[in-house]
Each structure stands twice: as structure tokens, then as C-alpha cells.
Structure 1
């Protein structure tokens, strides 16, 4: 646990898929005090024009993501809430969930990608940082 635990008492923790849920959990776990941290783990099933099958696949992937995180947390005795969200703008949907839940922070594990492309084209992680007044915690990357 670090001195950042105050920011991590009620974080909204977005995860994109099962693998990301595992990586995010592994990054968050050493940073929190399980007695005081009560995360809301969210995954956004982006609204698509691809029909019911495409939307169902996105919802299934999001459900798998939050369920995987919750399972890992439960094994460590950490109580988490989960929610699968739907929205066209992933970052805006996460920020809305953080506002609605009175989150102490938005805590995420960077999923990689191009920093330069984010600057030019924007991206979810950039939007999470610049479009909210809620503190944002970027969890440390795996140092393997």
C-alpha cells in the first residue's frame, strides 16, 4: 500500500477485456488497502451499428472483463462492485459513471498504444485525463 490509498478508496476502474482485467488487477492490488478500497469496476460495451450480434459480443466481452476482475478481487477478500456500461464515447461513459458514483478517482492501467497517435487523434486514456475534474491514477506498468 502506498500513500496514494486516499485516492483509491472509491475508484472507478475501467477494464476492456479479460486480459486487461487481470493486468489492471495486478497493477492495482499492491497500491490499495483492501479494508478501505471499494472499487467500481466498469467495462464499456461500445454502442455499435453492427447489429444485435455485434452488440451482444461487445456486451459479453465487457461482462467477462468485470467478472474476471471481481473473481480476482474476491480471492483476495476485496469487495468490488461491477457494472457493464453502454455508450458511443467510451471515455465519456466512464467519466459519467465516475461522477454518478462519487468516485475518489479513475484508476486505469495503460493499455499501450502510441503516445504520438493519442496527441494527434486523441484516445480514451487522453480523454480520461483531460475531460474530467476527477483525479486520474495511471497504475504502474508491469516491470517484467
Structure 2
């Protein structure tokens, strides 16, 4: 017998980072059924990377428009699963560090994401973020499979 309270479920208050509208759809299709199954309340974050003194690749307004399109897709998917979802834009020079800070800010139960497929170059670039999340986060990191490939589909 234990007097300690049960630990919270990994998916009770997850932080779910998304990069674009397409990524939001794919990530939410993989994550939201699992989060809904445990009655979780996800917070979806989009990171706007700042160049740190160098010219940004696109204006902040353009990047915020991308974030809002991603959030629209998130809200549609959340409604399909009966989830109450929060959305948040965070700004920072280090994507992984900014995701970890956002998780701290909301006291996330875990950071939940789906790796992005693509070329070896894209994997090399995004792999740094993935690896940093796994090695630098002080909370669990849940890496989900692609919703379309689960169970041999």
C-alpha cells in the first residue's frame, strides 16, 4: 500500500509542438486519440525562431500567419476528438530550448511530438531538435508514430 498519490498520466497535460498546418494535421491525428482516451488537455505550441541579430527568414507577421493556420487545423482535429485545446506561440533562437521552456511554463506532463518525415537533410536538421528534446528536457518526451503507419497500416 502506498500513501503517495498516483502520478499524473503522461498525456494529462501534454505540450504538443507543431511546425506548420500539414504537421499539425499529422501530429494531431497521431496524438489526439491518445490524449482524449485519458481525458487530457493538450497545449499546442508553434515556435517562431528568431535569428538573434541576423535578418529573419520571414517577417514575424508571416510566421504568425503560419502558426494561426496550424492552430486552425489543431482546433478542427481537437473538435473531432472532443478535446479542449489551448494554443500558444513562443519565440526563441533555440527551438528545442523554447519548447522546453514552454513545457515548463504550463507545467506539462510531457512533450509529445511526431517526427517529421522527409529527406536525410531535413532529418539531420530536425534531428538536432528531436535529440535536444530527448536529452535536455526535465520531463518525459513522448515520440509518437505516424498515425497512418500504426499497426502495420
Counterparts of 1:108-123 in structure 2 under 5 Å?
108-113=113-118, 114=120, 117=124, 123=128
Taking structure 2 as the reference length, the TM-score comes to 0.79
**8 A Cα contact 1:46 1:58, kept in partner:** no
**8 A Cα contact 2:36 2:81, kept in partner:** no
Match for residue 19 of structure 1 among 19, 22, 25: 22
Larger radius of gyration: 2
Counterparts of 1:4-83 in structure 2 under 5 Å?
6-33=9-36, 36-48=39-51, 49-50=54-55, 54-83=59-88
- Cα distance in 1 for partners of 2:91, 2:33 equals 30
- For residue 73 of structure 1, report the CA deviation from its aligned partner: 0.3
Please identify runs of 4+ aligned residues in structure 1 that moved more than 6 A.
none
Aligned residue pair count: 138
Gaps in structure 2 of 5+ consecutive residues = 1-7
RMSD (Å) for aligned C-alpha atoms: 2.5
> CA offsets, 1:6-60, max 9 Å, x none?
2001000000000000000110133233562100000011114436952221121
> CA offsets, 1:90-119, max 9 Å, x none?
11111001011110000001012549836x
Q: Assess, with a 3 A threshold, how the Cα gap between structure 1 residues 51 and 80 changes in structure 2: closer, same or farther.
A: same
